[in-house]
Protein backbone atom coordinates (compact mmCIF):
# COMPACT_ATOMS: atom_id res chain seq x y z
CA UNK A 1 0.00 0.00 0.00
CA UNK A 2 1.20 3.54 -0.76
CA UNK A 3 2.66 5.32 2.23
CA UNK A 4 3.11 8.94 3.12
CA UNK A 5 5.65 10.54 5.43
CA UNK A 6 4.20 13.12 7.78
CA UNK A 7 6.42 15.42 9.77
CA UNK A 8 4.91 17.07 12.84
CA UNK A 9 7.08 20.10 13.25
CA UNK A 10 5.94 21.04 16.74
CA UNK A 11 7.21 17.80 18.28
CA UNK A 12 9.86 16.80 15.75
CA UNK A 13 8.23 13.49 14.98
CA UNK A 14 8.16 11.82 11.57
CA UNK A 15 5.53 9.20 10.91
CA UNK A 16 4.94 6.92 7.96
CA UNK A 17 1.28 6.13 7.44
CA UNK A 18 -0.79 4.41 4.77
CA UNK A 19 -2.39 6.58 2.08
CA UNK A 20 -5.94 7.48 3.05
CA UNK A 21 -5.19 8.06 6.74
CA UNK A 22 -6.60 11.29 8.12
CA UNK A 23 -4.06 13.70 9.61
CA UNK A 24 -5.92 13.78 12.92
CA UNK A 25 -5.62 10.02 13.40
CA UNK A 26 -1.86 10.28 13.10
CA UNK A 27 -1.61 13.42 15.16
CA UNK A 28 -3.48 12.03 18.13
CA UNK A 29 -1.37 8.87 18.16
CA UNK A 30 1.90 10.74 18.37
CA UNK A 31 0.64 13.54 20.61
CA UNK A 32 1.23 16.54 18.40
CA UNK A 33 -0.40 19.81 19.41
CA UNK A 34 -3.00 19.44 16.66
CA UNK A 35 -6.16 18.66 18.60
CA UNK A 36 -9.73 17.97 17.66
CA UNK A 37 -13.32 18.75 18.62
CA UNK A 38 -16.07 17.41 16.37
CA UNK A 39 -13.87 15.30 14.05
CA UNK A 40 -16.45 15.97 11.37
CA UNK A 41 -15.15 19.10 9.69
CA UNK A 42 -17.52 21.45 11.42
CA UNK A 43 -15.93 23.17 14.39
CA UNK A 44 -12.52 24.26 13.13
CA UNK A 45 -10.69 23.06 16.26
CA UNK A 46 -8.25 20.98 14.22
CA UNK A 47 -7.03 23.73 11.88
CA UNK A 48 -3.50 22.85 10.88
CA UNK A 49 -0.81 24.65 8.97
CA UNK A 50 0.64 22.68 6.10
CA UNK A 51 4.15 23.99 5.57
CA UNK A 52 5.15 21.50 2.90
CA UNK A 53 3.49 18.97 0.60
CA UNK A 54 0.09 20.64 0.20
CA UNK A 55 -0.56 18.54 -2.89
CA UNK A 56 0.17 15.34 -1.00
CA UNK A 57 -3.15 15.73 0.79
CA UNK A 58 -6.63 15.14 -0.59
CA UNK A 59 -8.26 18.34 -1.87
CA UNK A 60 -10.41 20.27 0.58
CA UNK A 61 -14.13 19.86 -0.02
CA UNK A 62 -16.43 22.82 -0.52
CA UNK A 63 -17.59 22.39 3.07
CA UNK A 64 -14.04 22.37 4.42
CA UNK A 65 -13.25 25.52 2.48
CA UNK A 66 -16.28 27.16 4.01
CA UNK A 67 -15.29 26.26 7.57
CA UNK A 68 -11.73 27.43 6.94
CA UNK A 69 -13.05 30.73 5.64
CA UNK A 70 -15.45 31.14 8.53
CA UNK A 71 -12.59 30.63 10.97
CA UNK A 72 -10.50 33.10 9.06
CA UNK A 73 -7.84 30.48 8.50
CA UNK A 74 -4.82 31.63 6.56
CA UNK A 75 -3.49 30.18 3.34
CA UNK A 76 -2.01 26.70 3.59
CA UNK A 77 -4.34 25.71 6.38
CA UNK A 78 -6.37 22.51 6.46
CA UNK A 79 -8.72 20.70 8.81
CA UNK A 80 -6.75 17.75 10.16
CA UNK A 81 -9.93 15.72 10.60
CA UNK A 82 -10.70 16.05 6.88
CA UNK A 83 -7.35 16.00 5.08
CA UNK A 84 -6.16 12.52 4.17
CA UNK A 85 -2.56 11.81 3.29
CA UNK A 86 -1.90 10.60 -0.25
CA UNK A 87 1.86 9.94 -0.34
CA UNK A 88 5.15 11.80 -0.47
CA UNK A 89 6.26 14.12 2.31
CA UNK A 90 3.92 16.40 4.26
CA UNK A 91 5.01 18.85 6.93
CA UNK A 92 2.42 20.14 9.38
CA UNK A 93 2.12 22.04 12.65
CA UNK A 94 -0.66 23.40 14.85
CA UNK A 95 -1.69 26.98 14.04
Partner 1 sequence: MSKLPQLTISGIAQAVELSERVHWIGAMDPSLRNFDIILKTANGTTYNAYLVRGSEGVAIVDTVKENFSNDFFERLESVASYDEIKVIVLNHLEPDHTGALPELMRRAPQARVYISQKAQSMLKALLKQDEFDFTSVLTGDKVSLGDRTLEFFHTPYLHWPDTQCTYLQEEQTLFSGDVFGCHFCDARLFNDEVGDFRFSFEYYYAHIMRPFKDYVNKALDLLEPLALINILPAHGPLLRDQPKKYVQRYRELSSSVLQSEIGAGEKTLLIFYISSYGNTRRMALAIYEGAMEIEHVRVSLYDLEGSEVAPFVDLIEGADGIVFGTPTINGDAVKPVWDLLSSLAVINLKTKVGGVFGSYGWTGEGVKMVEDRLRGLKLRVPIPGIRIKLIPTEEEIESCREFGQHLAQELLGLRQPRVIDMADLA
Q: Is 45 in the site for partner 1 (CB under 8 A)?
A: yes
By CB under 8 A, which span of 16-24, 52-60, 74-82 interacts with partner 1? 16-24
Which parts of 6-35 interact with ligand FES (CB under 6 A)? Answer: none
* Nearer to partner 1 (CB atom), residue 67 or residue 83: 67
DSSP code per residue over 22-54: BHHHHHHHHT-S---SSSSSSS-TTEEEEEE-G
Interface pattern 30-49 for ligand FES (x via CB under 6 A): ------xxxx-xxxxxx---
Q: ∠ CA(25), CA(85), CA(71), 5° rounding?
A: 70
Amino acid sequence: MAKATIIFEDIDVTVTAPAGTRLIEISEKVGSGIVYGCREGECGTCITKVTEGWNNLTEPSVLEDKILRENMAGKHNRLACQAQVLGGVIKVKPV
